[in-house]
Amino acid sequence: MTQVDVKDITIGPGAPLTVIAGPCVIESRDHVLRMAEAVRNLGEETGVPVIFKTSYDKANRSSIHSYRGPGVEDGAAILREIREEFALPVLTDVHEPRQVELIATVADVLQIPAFLCRQTDLVLTIAKTGRVVNVKKGQFLAPWDLEQVIGKITSTGNEQILITERGTSFGYNNLVSDMRSIPIMKQFGYPVVFDATHSAQLPGGSGDRTGGMREYIPPVARAAVAAGADAVFMEVHDNVDEARSDAATQWPLEKAKDLILQLRRIHEATGEMEKL
């Protein structure tokens, strides 16, 4: 299986667990800079490589009244500042092909949102940047269906690919995490990430916003690492009840260190078992 390098972080077989963490959306410049510093500190305190994530525009909110973020121009400037000030690799999602060129200059990993993973023009435009591509498996896809999306990315010559599992639609307003998808998708030859926080969502479950079951984030994250996930994606916030997006499923910053240490131990134990 291919290893993927994000700056000085290697993700894949034989590499340490990587954590991708940060707030759902840029709520303000000051807040996201504080969160970036906190995520950097989490990496130092746990010994786990970290990639900072946040969004400049949440273009897929439930309601027209939902907060989306500062937009592409202001968001790009803030992402550049985070990358330079804290020396952190940065991941952000891109919703439109016309935004890709600018965002590729300020982010190390370009993420294809789950709802858009079959949008060919978006996938190809992102892949052609040569940046690491993190493609989220749509809630409506079986794990083996993602092979066709990977084919679109590799058609551009880009082999720097991460695949993210984020749950599968299970009836109305519910998701289920099928841990079989992790070894299934690893057969495609690229590292697999588990999105622990979006997998705990109840899409549209609160009417005009997405609900969720935050209490189930630790067990599904632990299960995913035991199943072979190479990295864990989690949205974290220093005041989850006041978060302006996905408040129900962001993980409290003050609890993140303990969870990351648990995941690190499971990943190390799983690695030892695979050697037997």
Which residues, in sequence order, are CB contacts of 157 under 8 Å at separation 6+? none
pLDDT at 206: 62
Environment class of residue 74 by beta-carbon count within 10 Å: exposed (0-12), middle (13-18) or buried (19+)?
Answer: middle
Domains and CATH numbers, the chain: 4-275 (3.20.20.70)
pLDDT at 66: 81
Q: Which has the closest alpha carbon to 13: 273, 272, 271?
A: 271
Indicate the pTM of the whole model: 0.95
Whether 76 contacts 103, CB under 8 Å = yes
DSSP-derived secondary structure for 5-70: EETTEEESTTSPPEEEEE-SS---HHHHHHHHHHHHHHHHHHT--EEEE--S--TT-SSTTS---S
pLDDT at 208: 60
Q: Kindly give the parts of the chain with pLDDT less than 70.
A: 205-209, 272-273, 275-276
pLDDT at 63: 77
pLDDT at 1: 80
